[in-house]
Structure 1
Amino acid sequence: MVKQLVLHLGDRKTGSTAIQDALAAGHITSPTTQIFYPATTNHIPLAKTLSVKSLSPQRDMRFTKIAKRIARSDADIAVISAEHFEVVKPALLQEILTRYFPDLVGNIRLIAYVRPHAERLVSNYAEAVKLGQYDGDLHSYHTQRLDKKPLSYTDRFSRWRDVFGAAFTLRPFVRKTLVGGDIVQDFAQFLLGDTPHTVTASPPSNPSMSLQDLAMVRHLQSQIGAQPNMSKFQVSMGKSLGQLLASKQDSAQTPIKLAMHTELAKAVQIAYGEDARALDGAFFAPDTPMQDALQSSYERAVATPQSIAVTDHLSAAAIRMVDVWAGLLCSQSAANGALLRETLKNGPQAAGKSGKTGAAKQQAGKKGPNKRGGKKGKNTSPPEKEFTEDDLLDLF
């Protein structure tokens, strides 16, 4: 039977994918301690049952299932990992852990990593652009976040500590403070402490996109986003493009790193300075990693705003090819894999006919009244729900 349960809570954009990949692949090993990771990727669907109302009916099924798997394991430590725990209420999670893991109460530890404000802002912006959910520049994104959902760490992490006490650990996602300068090694150290262990190196997970690639993806996404009901397709395509671009680096071009300019860096310092001081005082004193990171971001800022216009990064020929692919992807308003394959196989006109006789029929149903009382042959399904800011944050 498992002796200890460890929950990795994220945050988003703190190397969670790297930790999850290492756990799933068995890259963290010990000759004396066995680790059980009951997932092939992550536990985000499990965590979402605690924060997404429409998924709460799945809560009992999912937690019962994972609790049974952990109860059957002979490992020393079981790990649950999902960056989506970032938005879960700590008191609710405590209630759930007590209910489904009663034998492990008192032997549960939780860890979260926090990315400095400026770095998280830049990373969130790049992700929003990649997924087609934001089309403006970095400065305007900062302004929007301040108005809608500013980065506020201290209150949130204080609530975790209020509920879980010493069982909760917060670590700064700052390279020089991580064990070996690596997030996986740092997590392994938290997991196993002084117990001898080995971490096998693995390829980078979810690497950052260069400014050139981001400009190209933004241009592509802006054209696709101009069509109706494309949000879900944009997200799926953006995630796939990010992985493909990372694996196919342009050796003929020096990648430019996305960075804040001096004026923006100063504005971010002012906006988040108090939260950085409070978080350092509450969790990291006498060290000041969050304040140091804000100062460092200002010192590393570029003199003038970076352009994200595709014409400043791609040749006219390259832009033409992006436009051609955008047209291909938009050849059907309800773009999906089947229609895209049909387009590539028989051309846009054939795909259009296929959309009328195939995909459209699937949406409209067979001839005759539908179960909801709709008219004959008419698609009465509601339009696709657009992604909101909260939906987007779920993908970070």
Structure 2
Amino acid sequence: MLSWLAFELDQDIMTAPKKTLVFHIGDHKTGSTAIQSAFAQAQVSLGDRSVFYPAKLAHNYLKQHCNAYAAPHATGGRKKAIAVFRKLAARVRESDADFSLISAEEMEWADPEVLHDIITRYFADTVDEIHVIAYVRPHAARLLSSFAERTKLGIPHILSGTLDTLFEETLERRRFHYEPRFSTWRRLFGDQFTLRPMIREHLDQGDVVKDFIRHAFATHDFQITGVGAANASLDLEDLMRLKVLQRHLLEHRNQLRFRHMLGWEFSRILATLPAPQTQTKLRLHRSLAERLHTTYLADAQAMDQSFFDRAPLLENALTGALEAAVDTPQSVEPADYLPPSDLRSLAVLSKVICGMLENDGQDWPEFLHAKRTKETQKIARANKS
């Protein structure tokens, strides 16, 4: 009887479906918001497989806990971080889904060694397999998208800066020297690490959400319903409108989080409106494109050789950016794109918003975040019904 029971247990183990945990770690500006929205809004189905996405929007809060976990003297912060990791790991363990997905583009800035330690200690026993997937945007496109994103979020020094000043800042911090960082991820996770190029013609059907599903879950059998262009890039006219608002809000120096939430809400509402007839794209100028090409060519070539089977994907993107550059730098001053009447109206609106911020009884950043979360959950409920 006991031997029969043991045989039955062995058979159950052999036939039990594998559980896989996928960590999506960015990068920023590679379609992370679109991917997160698709799963948070329950818009993805995987044929006869299932996915558990334990987040209302994303898991970017984990980055601060990674920092606290690694801080040698912050014992209180480390204990809190461990509790957060254990709680999330328990949710993954308890799920009966084939896949669990944790998505946080903020992990671009995490120490790979720290995250590897966290995954090994707290998540390794929750599933049968763990995969890590990331996307990388070509160097020139990343500079452009980062400038627009930081303007949208109201980062003070960006509101008074230019593409050239952002280039200098990112160069000093080596933000866009990709190969050392991604090589560390691959060294730590081996074949369980996947890096994809954020280049439209190299994405599955030219769509990052479809490409992510294809490579994160190793399947062509999926359906997506109702996915739009989440966090689509703003044209220069709309970006300058937002820049006017953000500059006026700088008088509230302690409202950085509100400026972030305002930028997200502004973009979300714009996405629901018809596109304007005139749209100016942010573009590189030739002298900056040349500096980018000189600075990042070796890194692009190293990335192509190490991660893309020697196909010159990032190298060609750098060359293409040089060829597409305009002769003179574009203005990033609102007055060069908006009529005086618009500037006046935006100044008035800014004053109204500043007056609202004087109400200390309302957590305005949390209000906007909760509003976005509520709308996401509403869509998710509709898709599940």
TM-score of the superposed pair, with normalisation by structure 2: 0.81
SS of the residue corresponding to residue 66 of structure 2 reads coil
In structure 2, give the amino acid aligned to 1:6: V
Q: d(CA) in 2 for partners of 1:308 and 1:149? A: 24
Distance 1:296 1:70, change over 3 A: same
> Which of 79, 96, 100 is equivalent to 2:122?
100
Q: d(CA) in 2 for partners of 1:65 and 1:226? A: 39
In structure 2, give the amino acid aligned to 1:176: E
> Which of 272, 290, 314 is equivalent to 1:290?
314
Deviation track 1:51-91 (CA, whole Å, cap 9, x = no partner) reads 25575442222221122212221111111111112122222
What displacement does 1:302 show? 2.1
> Which of 229, 234, 241 is equivalent to 2:254?
229
List runs of 5+ in structure 1 lacking aligned partners.
Answer: 341-396
Instruction: Provide the residue aligned with 2:32 in structure 1.
Output: 16
1:1-396 superposed matches below 5 A: 3-52=19-68, 56-104=78-126, 107-133=129-155, 134=158, 135-194=160-219, 196-249=221-274, 251=276, 253-331=277-355, 334=358, 338=362
CA contact (8 A) 1:210 1:255 kept: yes
What displacement does 1:279 show? 1.0
SS of the residue corresponding to residue 44 of structure 1 reads coil
Deviation track 1:373-396 (CA, whole Å, cap 9, x = no partner) reads xxxxxxxxxxxxxxxxxxxxxxxx
What displacement does 1:104 show? 4.9
Q: d(CA) in 1 for partners of 2:360 and 2:265? A: 14
SS of the residue corresponding to residue 79 of structure 1 reads strand
In structure 2, give the amino acid aligned to 1:300: A
In structure 2, give the amino acid aligned to 1:65: K
Q: d(CA) in 2 for partners of 1:312 and 1:48? A: 39
CA contact (8 A) 1:329 1:335 kept: no
CA contact (8 A) 1:6 1:77 kept: yes
What displacement does 1:29 show? 1.5
Distance 1:21 1:228, change over 3 A: closer
SS of the residue corresponding to residue 170 of structure 1 reads strand
Structure 1 residue runs of 4+, over 4 Å off?
52-55, 332-340
Q: d(CA) in 1 for partners of 2:267 and 2:47? A: 37
Relative contact order: is structure 1 or structure 2 higher (C-alpha 8 Å, sep ≥ 6)?
Answer: 2
Deviation track 1:98-141 (CA, whole Å, cap 9, x = no partner) reads 22234357611111000111111111111121222112222222
Q: d(CA) in 1 for partners of 2:254 and 2:98? A: 48
Q: d(CA) in 2 for partners of 1:245 and 1:318? A: 16
What displacement does 1:327 show? 2.4
Distance 1:144 1:194, change over 3 A: closer
CA contact (8 A) 1:2 1:74 kept: no
In structure 1, give the amino acid aligned to 2:257: K
After TM superposition, the structure 1 stretch with the greater mean CA deviation from structure 2, 171-180 or 87-96, is 87-96
Q: d(CA) in 2 for partners of 1:265 and 1:337? A: 48
The number of equivalent residue pairs is 339
What displacement does 1:181 show? 0.6
CA contact (8 A) 1:332 1:339 kept: no
**Higher percent of residues as helix:** 2
Q: d(CA) in 2 for partners of 1:146 and 1:99? A: 34
Distance 1:129 1:101, change over 3 A: closer
Q: d(CA) in 2 for partners of 1:187 and 1:164? A: 18
Distance 1:60 1:147, change over 3 A: closer
CA contact (8 A) 2:89 2:126 kept: no
List runs of 5+ in structure 2 lacking aligned partners.
Answer: 1-16, 365-385
Q: d(CA) in 1 for partners of 2:134 and 2:143? A: 18
In structure 2, give the amino acid aligned to 1:289: L
- What RMSD, in angstroms, separates the aligned Cα atoms of the two structures? 2.3
